[in-house]
Amino acid sequence: MFTCLLLLACEPEIPVARVLPPTPEAEQPPLQDGQPPPQAGQPPPPVQPPPPDEPTPSDPPPAEPPPPEPSGRSWYVSTKGSDGAKGTREAPLRTIGRAAALASPGEVIRVLPGVYPEELVLESRGSGVAPITLRGEGSPRPTLAPADRARSTVIRVRGRWTLDNLQIDVGGAPMFAVIFDSGASQSVLSGSELKSGTTSAGVLVDGARDITLLRNTIHHFNKPGDDSHGVVVVGPSRNITLRDNDIHHNSGDSIQCQAGSAPAEGVLIEGNTLHDEGENGVDIKQCHRVTVRDNVLFGFPNTAIRPSGSSAGEAVLIQQFARDILVQGNSISRAGRGVSVLGGDSPPENVSVMDNHLQEIRNIPEGNGQGIRIESARNARVEGNLVEGTASYGLMLAADGRVITGLVVRNNTVRSGSQRLLLRLGDAPFRPGLLMQENLYASDGILKADAVTDRLDGDLVRFLEDFPGDRLTLSSQEKLEVWQQVIGVDQGSGLLE
């Protein structure tokens, strides 16, 4: 008990994502005025609904500008100092903990090179105060390492602090490098290297607000046989920015966002390089207003870290009641799947997958290889993406036996992979109100429409010949026109030269 009162001894577990109650599935849309019902054995007529509401993933607030250089007193810390000293450059302190206890808002703690075996609790100095800055000085960066491996983290932030230019080497201990807990607000971790822990993440943001992770390298957090993510954001955290970080070689995901006592909300993941993880790049579950934009993601799963099979190795995975999600402008390669929207009975809502470039999507683990897969969703948009070099279908839409409402698919370019599989579209009852138009497909590629031949009668023998086993090979523009006539959607689409 005494150890727990020291604040860092009891290992906090990342909360298990709480499954929120599902909402009823939308009913099949009614026929429009004057639209005849389909005849038995005929393909259903195209439904031309009004455009569905735009998904509205409200952008998180713009990132705070870099904080001004602290103008208050500087406290110096050196491995050659003394905690009884004045904390000046000429008479530095010995420990960072002593400097943190003495520093006031607006002041800066300047840590000189060396190794500091400490665990820090960076407390609040009250609301509305200037941050205290903890900064590494000189080269190489100063290194923080655990003194007591039974503690849960090297640094715990409970107030407004800026951490800059540090190295945090957990040294194989079952500890986080940094925790921003529910008392942390307007804090920054920048320009630092964090590595080598064996608990469930490198950085845990647990109920904090207005936190920025900027230009950090976070790597080699490996929990034997289990997940250890680079960064985990747990609700009810709000307004979390991860920008220009390099996160790699962890046994779980680069970044995971999940609910705690409530969903996390307002997460911006922008301009990062996320790669070579044991599981996924970005995993979003039960989070609201998340933007994943202009990142480079590759190397999922990394089977040298974790045997294949614990995940599909998705670059971006959206699931479990996630809402208002934008995935835009990312470069994705060497993944088991590119972007997956899954949910089962808890479908994500208002998901936009736009203007991404996906290539070299692999069949690892076996049964994967899809570029963009929409399994379960309400109001999903797939627009303006370039998908090429996939081991399975470039686009796999509403083909998992679950109803997807408000699905919009347009202006995508899909080029062939090794199997020439471009698009798999689920049966009509699973995609009511689908709006699909102006896509471009590679000639000689294959389109598949589930169960389409079950609805064709003897007057459409030519279509049956064109759709052996529900698949059509795009050997000509005329074949694409057959696809459009039978499916009743995908108008204005064409073949690539």
Task: Report the alpha-carbon distance of residue 231 to residue 272 in Å, rounded.
Answer: 12
How far is it, in rounded angstroms, from Cα 134 to Cα 349?
A: 40
Residues 431 and 459: beta-carbon distance below 8 Å: no
Q: Kindly compute the dihedral angle of the four CA atoms of residues 387, 393, 396, 401, in this order, to the nearest 10 degrees.
A: -170
User: Angle at CA 104, nearest 5°, toward 98 and 109?
Assistant: 55
Domain boundaries, the chain: 138-495
Q: Residue 209 pairs with which residues in a beta bridge? A: 185, 238
Q: What does the alpha-carbon distance between residue 281 and residue 229 come to, in Å, rounded to a whole number? A: 10
Distance CA 251, CA 249 (A): 7
Asked if the peptide bond before residue 12 counts as cis, ω within 30 degrees of 0, the response is no
Please give the chain's pLDDT, 497 residues, in tens. 323 323 333 444 443 333 333 333 333 333 343 344 444 344 444 434 444 444 445 555 555 555 567 778 999 999 999 999 999 999 999 999 999 999 999 999 999 999 999 999 999 999 899 999 999 998 999 999 999 998 999 999 999 999 999 999 999 999 999 999 999 999 999 999 999 999 999 999 999 999 999 999 999 999 988 999 999 999 999 999 999 999 999 999 999 999 999 999 999 999 999 999 999 999 999 999 999 999 999 999 999 998 877 788 999 999 999 999 999 999 999 999 999 999 878 899 999 999 999 999 999 888 899 999 999 999 999 999 999 999 999 999 999 999 999 999 999 999 988 899 999 999 999 999 999 999 999 999 999 998 776 555 544 445 556 666 678 899 899 989 988 988 889 999 999 97
Number of helices and strands in the chain (H, E): 4, 42
H-type helices in 59-103, by residue range? Answer: 96-102
Length of the chain: 497
> Cα(168)–Cα(404) distance, rounded to whole angstroms?
45
Contact between 358 and 386 (Cβ < 8 Å): yes
Least Cα distance to 289 among 25, 11, 58 occurs for: 58
Residue 64 sits at the vertex; the CA angle it makes with 265 and 328, to the nearest 5 degrees, is 55
* 138-495 carries CATH number 1.10.357: no
